Amino acid sequence: MTVGNMETAALFDAGKKGRGLRASRELRAGEVVFAEPSFSAVVFDSFATQVCHSCFRHQAKLHRCAQCKFAHYCDRTCQTACWDEHKQECGAIKKIGKAPNEHVRLAARVLWRIHKDTGIASDSQLISVDQLEDHVADLPEGDLKKLQTDVHNFQQYWSRGRKQHSADYISHIFGIIKCNGFTLSDQRGLQAVGVGLFPNLCLVNHDCWPNCTVVLNHGKIELRALEKIPEGEELTVSYVDFLNLSADRQKKLKEHFHFECTCSHCSQHIKDDLMMDAAESKPSADKVKEVTAFSKECLEKIEKSRIQGDFHEVVKLCHECLGKQENVLADTHLYRLRVLSVASEVLSYMRSFSEAAGYARKMVEGYTKLYHPNNAQLGMAIMRAGVTHWHAGQIEAGHSLICKAYGILMVTHGPNHAMTRDLESMRTQTEVELKMFKQNEQEYHTMRDAALKKPVTSWEPPC
């Protein structure tokens, strides 16, 4: 049932996939199909004191709500903008003395919003929230127990005297959140800091090689076209990272979203061969099997050391693993790419930029052969590689990579996103430095060496 209207997209019956959205007119690459504010959203528990509960920006000094002492805001402007959504929550937190987990808080915010707006927040909302799929009947036993605990905690949290709901209805809301909740990132798009519910976005079906992407921009979710989309074509996004074998993507989609992916890339196993390919030197099958098993085990050790902050051990393990993989696994092999990614990231943090740049270049070469040319993950990986080359003094390669990343992010993020603006500043700066380098190489390197004596603020420790 269509309850709203939208100029660029229309709700339709997508057959076995259920409901879906399709283009109401031809769309250009980079065009915003629609922008949607959250119906309800909350900050993750782990970021409750670090991120504004209104705009989801990371801030050094946030102002705490004087009433509940839980919510934090950039300033009074953000607090005022969020008050209509926070006031019910504020009273409930004060009443029980502490804030419940993010799932319970979001379920409560959704229900308060439904009571106020009957599930429809605007004329452009195509479906009411409680008409979204919950898949509660498909949950495994472990997830059902967690759901029952959340329902119990919700009932304690929900303010007395207000409209009461059955446990089944509350379970329905939790199921909707589990299946349809969208992770919200901070202002740089680098870290997941919250979760929200966006009814129109929930109608966009999955494809492992989608024609659209999703980005949070100025507090709203934007659905952006990755390529030219003809009128009438279904709009799709990817619910999982493409850099996994088709069977692994299908397993993850089945476990979390409860459907069998039958997209062309899964059904035809497109690019699976590249992701598991052997090197051109044609090593024996036994050697490939041995190195693949070693790489898998080594990646587990690398991740453990990275979590512990032992970056010297991470680098040691990466060197060992990459040495074993040389002339055995292809440059597009998933395990090789994962080690290259960690190595370049950690070495950049440790300011070993020249070595990091070499690994980053190889990583980008592999990514480019696997990802959609306008994939946001590819764009950000190229950006990081460009910055690494820039810090390494390889200004020509750095500027070229930054320009390439800028072209991708103009499509995936748009010109007004904080990430794109940062990249535009980098592009301008590297262009100036490139001219200096071509005019007087010695003077350029003197300037660069002086700059590198200052702390590098554009890199953060991997997490």
pLDDT band at 417; cut points 50, 70, 90:
very high
- Separation between Cα atoms, residue 26 and residue 23, nearest integer Å: 7
pLDDT band at 446; cut points 50, 70, 90:
confident
Domains 271-370 and 373-462 share a fold: yes
Q: Report CA 332 to chain centroid distance, whole Å.
A: 22
- Separation between Cα atoms, residue 34 and residue 201, nearest integer Å: 9
Residue 120 has pLDDT above 80, yes or no: no
For position 3, what pLDDT does the model report? 41
Please, what is the average pLDDT of the chain?
A: 91
For position 22, what pLDDT does the model report? 96
Average pLDDT, integer, range 112-137? 83
pTM, full prediction: 0.89
Share of the chain above pLDDT 90, in %: 75
Residue 259 has pLDDT above 70, yes or no: yes
CA angle 440, 441, 443 (to 5 degrees): 70
Residue 76 has pLDDT above 80, yes or no: yes
Extents of the domains making up the chain: 39-197, 271-370, 373-462
Residue 352 has pLDDT above 50, yes or no: yes
Q: Poorest-confidence range of 108-117, 168-177, 255-264? A: 108-117
DSSP secondary structure code for residue 47 in this structure: G
- State pLDDT tens for residues 220-241: 899 999 999 999 999 999 999 9
Residue 114 has pLDDT above 80, yes or no: yes
Share of the chain above pLDDT 70, in %: 94
CB 319 within 8 A of CB 359: no
Residue 138, CA distances (Å) to 71, 235, 254, 375 in order: 34, 26, 10, 31
β-strand pairing of 182-185 with 32-37: unpaired
CB 387 within 8 A of CB 426: yes
Residue 205 has pLDDT above 90, yes or no: yes
Strand order in the sheet with 32-37: 32-37, 220-225, 212-217
- State pLDDT tens for residues 284-328: 999 999 999 999 999 999 999 999 999 999 999 999 999 999 999
Q: Report CA 361 to chain centroid distance, whole Å.
A: 22
Residue 329 has pLDDT above 90, yes or no: yes
For position 463, what pLDDT does the model report? 34
Which range has the top average pLDDT, 155-159, 211-215, 457-461? 211-215
Domain 271-370 in CATH 3.40.30.10: no
Residue 159 has pLDDT above 80, yes or no: no
Question: Among 2.40.340.10, 1.10.510.10, 1.25.40.10, 3.40.50.150, what is the CATH number of 373-462?
Answer: 1.25.40.10
For position 452, what pLDDT does the model report? 64
CA angle 32, 38, 42 (to 5 degrees): 135
Coarse DSSP helix, strand, coil percentages of the chain, rounded to the nearest 5 percent:
55, 10, 35
